[in-house]
Structure 1
Amino acid sequence: MKKVSIKHINFAHQSIFRGLEFYELELRFLTERLEEIALDNTGREAAEKVETFQNQFIIHKDHIGLLKHRLNENFVRLQHSLDPSGNYVDENVVADGEKISEDYATEERLFKDMHQQFNRFASVWL
């Protein structure tokens, strides 16, 4: 099995983890704003849009939690696959980390799109 240098892998994992923490915090703020909108606007149209965003927030929260879990698992696998010198890991563990990075980039893009939609919605209903 081929070995790969671990120099930048730890930094990438930490960067993704910090990004996921940021999006969790952002979801809390968005949820608070959504609750304000729901309290101030009890009409059917607003309620439908509020419910839509509530569902999107739940989906993003679940996906962020799943990515964090996968990231932690990959980190443990990286630690276990370190060679005796502590500089190289198995290539398949790195490939798993790269897949997590790709999934994070997708989540980031989807979150930003949802955030923009929410801001447009909030500008009308706040």
Structure 2
Amino acid sequence: MIGPSDRIQKLINEQYKSLDDAHTRLSEIWVNDILFSFGWITTLLLTVVPWIVWFIFRKKESSTRLMVGGLWAMLISSWLDYVGVTLGLWRYYNKLIPLIPDYIAWDFALMPVTIVFFLQIKPQVSPIIKGQHF
């Protein structure tokens, strides 16, 4: 007789097999249809260019403070994005690299760099007012 833990392990293994099969199919789609497409190149640029622009225009004496703010923006936005994608509320169709989250351009480049620029340009403005304009 199969005990409860054996049944649970079997169910979980079946789901992992299903996830592995889906990931294999998505990787094939990425190689054949997404890699080097216009959307892929755009995602690459949206991931790299904001950091280059920030590096050029940042206030060097405030770099540490700004990077901490950017890190918090990355953590919060990536967690919220993960929840949204997991719940099926939205999807991203131009994956930069198949092994990393789809939303890397938004959560690890655009969002933190935008917030860091807001912190740098108008440090005296209330965060609530900055949030309303964003």
TM-score, normalised on structure 2? 0.38
Higher helix proportion (structure 1 or 2): 1
- For CA contacts below 8 A with separation 6 or more, give which structure has more relative contact order: 1
Higher strand proportion (structure 1 or 2): 1
